[in-house]
Amino acid sequence: MNKKKHIIEVKNLEKRYNKAPGNAVDDVSFYVEEGAFFSLLGPNGAGKTTVISILTTILSKTSGEVQIAGCNAETQADKVRESIGVIFQNPSLDGNLTAEENIRFHANLYGLFPYRPRFVMMDPAYQKKVRQLAEVIGLQNDIFRPVKTLSGGMKRKLEIIRSLMHRPKVLFLDEPTTGLDPISRANLWQYLQEVRRKENTTIFLTTHYLEEAEGSDYICIINKGKIEAKGTPAEIKKVLIEKYISADSGDRQKLIQELKAKKIKFAGTGPFRMELDGKSAHELIAGIKTPLTDLLIYNPTLEQAYVQIISRDLNEK
Amino acid sequence: MKNNLIAISAIAARDMTKLFRDKTRILASFIFPIIFIGVLGTSLQANLQGSLPYNFLTFVFLGVTAQTLFQSTASGIISLVEDRQNDFAQEMFIAPISRYAIIMGKIVGETAVSLVLILGILAFGIVTGIPLNLPGVVKLIPFFLLIAAFGGAFGMIVMANIREQRSVNQLFPFLIFPQFFLAGVFNPIKQLPLPLLVASRIAPMTYAVDLIRSVYYSGSPEYQYAVLFNPWLNLAVVAGLFAVFFTAGTYLFVKNEKNR
């Protein structure tokens, strides 16, 4: 098996804001393989934006180690900045400039093309690229309109093509679909998947929508600054989801005796909750002779497991 | 280095583009000097002229020019706070360029903006017949640039320590308005009670205003009445404070931005 390069490596990351009583991010470690689609999942206030801010060099950490594309996020910040693109939670477009001027500004900041005061005076390669990208996202008629007149979905797409201008190795997306309608969301994801396929861009997503994370290669669930679970969606399901059977019988005493005799773990006084213990539901039920009056197989979705994790602390309070 | 220069030009150009789209700012920048020169200057001129050895309107006009340059760039730089709240600043801060290039671009841009505004004010002065000798004004152009940049650096040091637009709106008038009077925009500050004299000599705008006047009046008979310090002294103070404000301001700004 060929081992893929870790494009992001985070070790024991900690962040305590000034005058804050506790850590916003507490001993977080994970890595992301090159070309992967990685999701940092968690409720609001879990520390997702803090993590992404540290990874994108705009916030300093309290302790720990962060490497992006082989460079240290603190001491080699400029190198890191060259290899990343970021879509922030709040739109970072200048509403007074046109869509094209926002892209031009970005191209200039990254030294891709020298600055010229008008679009037609810019490098022909730049003009061609902008027209192409505008077409891809269906903005060809609005590219010279001020950004403040564009819809939310359009703005997001504009930010994405802008962040891809310098062909970053890693694209960070901080809750990119917040405030978008379902159609815009679907469009956006379709476009992002296309980019990923073509450019092998690593995608680092933070989201509180589970269904957005479900399509990723690797998920890290974070809550109150701590990692609660990490792995592929399938692994997370396996660890988090407890499948069980709930059953009842007209003759409960007989059922209890039988369950005890067959060493099937159960709980409750009826209906009974029986653990599968590695067996399939069918195997378990087939082994029971006492007539059952009620039978339910519980197979929670990842969504239910996620809600359970993030509400655990709420329940403890 | 080349990338930083491209970035500086792009950041500066953005401010210029925004100026021409912001009609309110253009209008606001003109109203103030027009009221000062037109109303205050003219009425004081009528009362004072007999007893003054220099033309009071010219004197006020030069003062207002320096004050406008200083203040306009300072408040322009403070718009970085607004950028930060609209999250546009993040776009600049994740770019692979020097943090000094970001601030430099901002200062260059706001300086250019102030120069455009000052040209309009000069045109207004000439049209309304304020006695100005043109070679004297042309001589001032490089100093206009310096004072605008100086105002930018002053804005930088103020902004470095403020996080919110609301605090800026509350604090900035306190830092600017007393300077109007302490800097002697309307009158040469030669005799004042000691505490006010000290305050006047501390106010950075004093040296900006006096630099413009000392250059304009140098070699003329009005010099000894209308000017406080030698132009070289003014130049040294302005250049020195610019260097300190710019370096310390940028350093503090970047540090406060990252170490939250």
Average pLDDT, chain A: 86
List the structure tokens of B136. 């004297």
Cα B134 from Cα B118, distance rounded (Å):
15
Q: Nearest-CA residue of chain A relative to B258?
A: A59
Compute the nearest-CA separation of B247 from chain A (Å): 20
Q: Is residue A147 part of a domain?
A: no
Average pLDDT over residues A57-62: 88
- Whether residue B181 contacts residue B208, with contact meaning beta carbons closer than 8 Å, is answered with no
Q: What is the CATH number of the domain that holds A75?
A: 3.40.50.300
List the structure tokens of A193. 């998947």
Partner residue facing B87 (CB), from A59, A84, A91: A91
**pLDDT band for position A317 (50/70/90)?**
very low
Predicted TM-score (pTM) of this structure: 0.80
Q: Is residue A120 part of a domain?
A: no
Residue A3: its pLDDT value, please?
A: 65
* Residues A178 and A72 grouped into a single domain: yes
List the structure tokens of A166. 């310098």
- Of A94-103, B79-88, B97-106, B204-213, give the lowest mean pLDDT range: B79-88
Task: Report the amino acid identity of residue B179.
Answer: Q
B181: number of Cβ within 10 Å: 16
Chain B residues whose C-beta sits inside 8 Å of any chain A C-beta: 2-3, 6-7, 9-11, 13-14, 17-18, 21-22, 86-97, 257-260
Q: Residues B210-215: contacts with CB within 8 Å, 24+ apart? A: B210/B183, B210/B184, B210/B234, B211/B66, B211/B143, B211/B146, B211/B147, B211/B235, B211/B238, B212/B62, B212/B63, B212/B65, B212/B66, B212/B140, B212/B143, B212/B144, B212/B147, B213/B59, B213/B62, B213/B63, B213/B66, B215/B139, B215/B140, B215/B143
Question: Pairing mode, if any, of strands A272-275 and A294-298?
Answer: unpaired
A172: β partners: A86, A204
Strand order in the sheet with A71-72: A25-33, A6-15, A63-68, A71-72
Q: Nearest-CA residue of chain A relative to B16?
A: A117
Cα A115 from Cα A93, distance rounded (Å):
18
* Residues A174 and A248 grouped into a single domain: no
Q: Nearest-CA residue of chain B relative to A112?
A: B3
Cα B157 from Cα B244, distance rounded (Å):
9
Q: Is residue A231 part of a domain?
A: yes
Which contiguous run of DSSP H or E holds residue B213?
A: helix B204-217
Domain boundaries, chain B: 2-258
- Expressed as residue numbers, the domain containing A256 is 242-299
A81 to chain B: which residues are within 8 Å by CB?
94-96
Q: Is the minimum CB–CB distance between A94 and chain B shorter than 8 Å?
A: yes
Give the residue from B104, B97, B85 showing the smallest Cα distance to B162.
Answer: B85
Q: Is residue A12 part of a domain?
A: yes
Q: Is the minimum CB–CB distance between A256 and chain B shorter than 8 Å?
A: no
ipTM: 0.81
- Find where tokens 């929508």 sit: A209
A60 to chain B: which residues are within 8 Å by CB?
258-259
Does the pLDDT of residue A38 top 90, yes or no?
yes
Q: Is residue A156 part of a domain?
A: no
Partner residue facing B94 (CB), from A56, A93, A101: A56
Q: Nearest-CA residue of chain B relative to A87?
A: B91
* Residues A221 and A283 grouped into a single domain: no
Angle, vertex CA A170, rays to CA A9 and CA A98, nearest 5: 145
Does the pLDDT of residue A155 top 60, yes or no?
yes
Partner residue facing A92 (CB), from B3, B90, B258: B90
Compute the nearest-CA separation of B195 from chain A (Å): 38
Q: What is the CATH number of the domain that holds A273?
A: 3.30.70
Residue A66: its pLDDT value, please?
A: 93
- Find where tokens 């929670």 sit: A300
Does the pLDDT of residue B57 top 60, yes or no?
yes
φ/ψ bin of A138: left (φ > 0), alpha (ψ from -120 to 50), beta (otherwise) = left
Q: Is the minimum CB–CB distance between A60 and chain B shorter than 8 Å?
A: yes
Is B14–A58 a contact, with Cβ atoms under 8 angstroms apart? no
- Find where tokens 């009005």 sit: B222
Domain count, chain A: 2
Using N-to-C axis directions, what is the helix angle for A99-109 and A124-136, rounded to 10°? 130
Three-state secondary structure call for residue A202: strand
Specify which of A87-91, A221-225, B54-58 reaches the highest per-range mean pLDDT: A221-225
The pLDDT tens digits of the residues spanning A105-136 come to 999 999 999 999 889 999 999 999 999 888 87
Is A110–B95 a contact, with Cβ atoms under 8 angstroms apart? yes
